[in-house]
């Protein structure tokens, strides 16, 4: 009888240990899931549309909380959902802000100055041009009050607001801001001034 009682105590102890272990794993899993859903999440870069800033295979962190209290700013690198398939994410640079009228000619960006009624060239150093441009000049487009004009840094090889497939990005599709590169190891660091 004592052997049965001892066996039962050992079994009970193992069951309690297993239950504690599974509870611990579930809690850690829930914390990681909540962290990824609402705060920060990793994102893999596919393709070279953001070269030389980001390259194919880079892993970055998306800050999902920065735009809860503020709006994206010009030149921010944003992650957004593809309007035809929310499971796909793109990363591009904000060039045109809500309400602005913007056009491109000879790889230069022009934004309408509402005060003067004149187009002014946007001073920016992110655009990288090499080879043949797959897009013709972009005719003037006026953005809605909740829309952003985005471009890849590799302007000749980027599916961005110049394409009807992407177009102007609605604010509701913006997931967050690229804030940190974690891979490759020789590129680890903040993306704040990239």
Question: What pTM value is reported for the model?
Answer: 0.80
- In this prediction, residue 31 carries a pLDDT of 62
Q: Is the pLDDT confidence value at 82 over 80? A: yes
Confidence of residue 38 (pLDDT cuts 50, 70, 90): low
- In this prediction, residue 81 carries a pLDDT of 94
Element (H, E) at 156: none
More confident residue, 95 or 6: 95
The average pLDDT across 18-46 equals 72
- In this prediction, residue 134 carries a pLDDT of 75
Residue range 43-190, CATH number: 2.10.109.10
- In this prediction, residue 186 carries a pLDDT of 84
Domain extents for the chain?
Answer: 1-38, 43-190
CA-CA distance, 22 to 174, in Å (whole number)?
A: 35
- DSSP state string for 106-148: TTEEEEEETTTTEEEE---S--B--S--SS-PEEEEEPPTTEE
- Residues involved in catalysis: 49, 92
Q: Is the pLDDT confidence value at 128 over 80? A: no
- In this prediction, residue 103 carries a pLDDT of 92
Q: Is the pLDDT confidence value at 121 over 90? A: yes
CA torsion, ordered 94, 182, 129, 137, to nearest 10 deg: -30
Helices (H), the chain: 2-38, 66-69
Confidence of residue 149 (pLDDT cuts 50, 70, 90): very high
The average pLDDT across 145-149 equals 97
Confidence of residue 136 (pLDDT cuts 50, 70, 90): confident
The average pLDDT across 116-138 equals 84
| The most confident of 85-89, 102-106, 169-173, by mean pLDDT | 169-173
């Amino acid at each position: 009888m004592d052997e049965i009682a001892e066996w039962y105590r050992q079994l009970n102890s193992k069951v309690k240990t297993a239950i504690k272990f599974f509870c611990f794993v579930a809690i850690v899993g829930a914390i990681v899931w909540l962290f990824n859903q609402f705060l920060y999440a990793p994102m893999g870069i596919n393709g070279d549309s953001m070269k030389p800033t980001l390259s194919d295979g880079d892993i970055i962190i998306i800050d999902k909380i920065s735009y809860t209290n503020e709006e994206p700013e010009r030149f921010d690198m944003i992650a957004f959902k593809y309007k035809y398939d929310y499971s796909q994410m793109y990363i591009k640079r904000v060039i045109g802000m809500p309400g602005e009228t913007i056009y491109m000619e000879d790889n230069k960006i022009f934004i309408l100055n509402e005060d003067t009624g004149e187009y002014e060239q946007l001073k920016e150093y992110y655009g990288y041009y090499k080879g043949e441009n797959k897009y013709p000049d972009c005719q003037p487009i006026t953005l809605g009050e909740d829309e952003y004009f985005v471009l890849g840094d590799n302007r000749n090889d980027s599916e961005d607001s110049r394409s009807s497939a992407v177009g102007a990005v609605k604010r509701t599709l913006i997931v967050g801001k690229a804030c940190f590169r974690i891979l490759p190891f020789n590129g680890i660091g903040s993306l704040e001034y990239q």
